[in-house]
Structure 1
Amino acid sequence: MALEGRGPPSETNSPSPLPDVTRNRLPTLFEVLSRRTHPPVDLFSFYIYMRDQQRSVDYLDFWLDVAQHMSLCRHYVRELRRSVLVGTPDIEKEESKRSSRALEALGDMSHSPAGPSMYPSEKEREQNAQMSAYLREQPAHDSPQSSQERRARASTQLSAGTPYNLTSDSNSPAHTVAREDIRASAEKILYTFLLPGAEREITLPGSITIDITTAIEQDGRDDPEVFDVAKDYVFQAMERDAFPGFLRARALGNLIPPTIIARLIIGLIAMFGAFWTAFVLIFLDYSRLTRCWVRSIHFKL
């Protein structure tokens, strides 16, 4: 993701769940972010609205990047679990046995969209918690670096505009995800959106930013739970401050009450009648005062 911001989410890349075509109500923000809706209230339209009207597209980009980070973690754990079930080398080692048991306990990671922490079902919440716990227990095996070195590395990547080699469907990475990819994804989110002075810094309570920075830079965490509080905060902010205006502009703005159509028809008929009457009075040789009076009566009607 380059510093100038990602482009709008593609309209052709579809979601995980199919849209609910029988819904007889306005969609929720979670349904829009999960790509479960149709134009003009889809994710593409919401992105354009956040960019052009709200001027706060960085919040939406942060949400999308954190959701993509969750998808990276799920894909990594699914691939790891699949390789364990097929056959784990060094299975006699106690550490390998513990890792295998932890992966088997996770079950099959679902493709459900990454939403606020309060939205998933109890089973999904438990799976996400187990996945985060597993990633915390299995830290990335990269050489120790100071926070300044990591920031310099991330800044170089961001300036070069080197994105992850992922398809736009966040559930389907285009290559096998390595643990280093997860670590790089977490650092990129931190250095792009959260650190003070970042190019696309978003406004969050200071305690949230400090907790995330400490967790990533000092504790070495890169599991999805590290962003949960910030993600929920951004979701609630968009739901409260931006989404109602988006619905008014894109959904309610397209609704035309029947009374407006009826008044428009009556107005057009009255205008036609006024011009027709004035035209007839010209041939009947009525005075100009009479013609203006009759025409004004028609326009008032």
Structure 2
Amino acid sequence: MAEDHYATTGSPSPQPDLNRNRLPTLFEVLSRRTLPPVDLFSFYIYMRDQQRSVDYLDFWLDVAQHMSLCRHYVRELRRSVLVSTPEPDRGSKRSSAILEGLGDMSHPAAGPSMYATEKEKDQDAGLSAFLREERGPSHDSPQSSNDRGGGSRPSPNVSTPRHVTTDSNSPAHTVARQDIRASAEKILYTFLLPDAEREITLPGSITADVAAAIEEFGRDDPEVFDVAKDYVFQAMERDAFPGFLRMKAFGNLIPPTLIMRLTIGLVSMFGGFWTAFNLIFLNASRSTRLWVILPFTIGVYCLASYQYSLDPILALIGLSEYTPFNFSSVREPYVRKLLIERALVVLAVTIVVDAALCVLFVLVPGKRL
């Protein structure tokens, strides 16, 4: 379910920037810092229905959720250390020092790339270092992953557990270390390995490195996915995001609706011309010929909507289409401003062309054949 990606584990909810006087970036959209129609839900629908490549977005979101899971685990582990006496053999002195130096891990960045500050970058790098240190000797053997799992892969259809009990002394500790391992393996077996259920296309070297790190060296820290995640981010930013902005920030209709409007517009224009010429050659009165304004108005309006990918009336009342005949309110201030400006242009074009056609066919002298 797409909705599973919009809740992060133990991370503060990002606040949209209502004063942004520009179009949002892809990272702002993925970080849930934007409002409809350029929010994460709209981008997900666009990737699913228009780009047909939603698996790339799901991979990015799953890795971001894996990072959130790791942060939650570390925060709860720090809390348990503060309220109880840790076991003598719990980790090394080095891992304890890393844990103490991580800070509160409260920043809401969506993943291991594009941080707002160097502090956030250092914190997540330290988090990965701690998780690698905490693995312990049992994870260092290349055979350990197969020994633990009996050589079988987890089903990609099974969700990563969200609320499980652990041996932690902290009652709020809801994420166990095995959940992090299961999350990393789920991402690998769902998206990266050859013939995976939802395999995404990545350079072979990236896939091989990630698979080796998880299966042979037992890694499950977020940094193991950094290269793959950055590659997917850049691909979406280059190939999908510009089209998304064109559709949602400069228009409010989707392709199926545009095709329907083109069809209605052409049929209406044909009907308008056919009626107008018939009335002229029947020498009908000008008041009778004035009725051609109806098919011409419908035709010009639909063709202008198709040309600009924008329904001006919907734009003026603040609605944007995300699936056929389903609309959401335009809440992003800068996008609403853009849509209103373009709506006024489309209305002006519609009125001018419609008036010109009506004047031409109403005022031209009639001649009965």
Shorter chain as denominator, the TM-score bin is: 0.7 to 0.9
Q: Tell me, yes or no, if structure 1 residue 113 matches structure 2 residue 109.
A: yes
**Deviation string, structure 1 residues 15-61 (Cα, Å, up to 9, x no partner):** 72211111111111001101111111111111111111111111000
1:236–1:196 Cα change, 3 Å: same
Give the one of 185, 199, 206 matched to 1:208. Answer: 206
| Conserved 8 A contact 2:190-2:197 | yes
8 A contact 1:84–1:100 mirrored in 2: no
2:14 matched residue in structure 1: 17
SS in 2 for 1:106: coil
Deviates more, 1:34-43 or 1:233-242: 34-43
Cα gap change, 1:30 to 1:77, in 2 (>3 Å): same
Distance in 2, matches of 1:69 and 1:12, equals 12
**In the aligned structure 2, how far is the partner of 1:263 from the partner of 1:94?**
72
Q: 1:107 to 1:257 in 2, by over 3 A?
A: same
Distance 2:90 2:64 in 1: 34
Partners of 1:151 and 1:28 in 2: CA distance: 42
The CA deviation at 1:252 is 1.3
Percent identical pairs in the alignment equals: 67
| Distance 1:197-1:94 versus aligned 2 partners, 3 A rule | closer
Residue of structure 2 aligned with 1:231, choices 221, 229, 232: 229
In the TM superposition, what are the counterparts of 1:239-258 in structure 2 within 5 Å?
Answer: 239-254=237-252, 255=339, 256=342, 258=344
In the alignment, the residues of structure 1 paired with residue 244 and residue 31 of structure 2 have an alpha-carbon distance, to the nearest angstrom, of 16
The alignment status of 1:71 with 2:68, answered yes or no, reads yes
C-alpha deviation, 1:12, in angstroms: 9.6
Q: Contact 1:15/1:35 (CA < 8 Å) preserved in 2?
A: no
- Residues 263-272 or 6-15, more deviating: 6-15
CA RMSD, Structure 1 to Structure 2 (Å): 3.1
Higher relative contact order (CA 8 A, sep 6+): 1
State the 1:211 CA deviation: 0.8
Which residue in 1 is equivalent to 2:126?
130
Whether 2:93 is the aligned partner of 1:7: answer no
Give the conservation status (yes or no) of the 8 Å contact 2:73–2:177: yes
Deviation at 1:106, TM superposition (A): 1.0
Structure 1: give runs of 5+ residues left out of the alignment. 1-5, 168-173, 290-301
Question: Per-residue CA shift, 1:202-238, capped at 9, x if unaligned?
Answer: 1111111111111111111000000000000000000
TM-score, with normalisation over the residues of structure 1? 0.78
1:147, 1:210 → 2: CA distance?
A: 21
Answer whether contact 2:98 2:129 (CA < 8 A) is retained.
no
| Partner residue, 2:152 | 152
Matched to 1:130, the amino acid is: G
Moved more, 226-235 or 249-258: 249-258
CA contact (8 A) 1:76 1:177 kept: yes
Structure 2 residue runs without a partner (length 5+): 164-171, 253-338
> Equivalences for 1:243-282 in 2 at 5 Å?
243-254=241-252, 255=339, 256=342, 258-273=344-359, 277=363
Aligned partners of 2:227 and 2:243: how far apart in 1?
A: 25
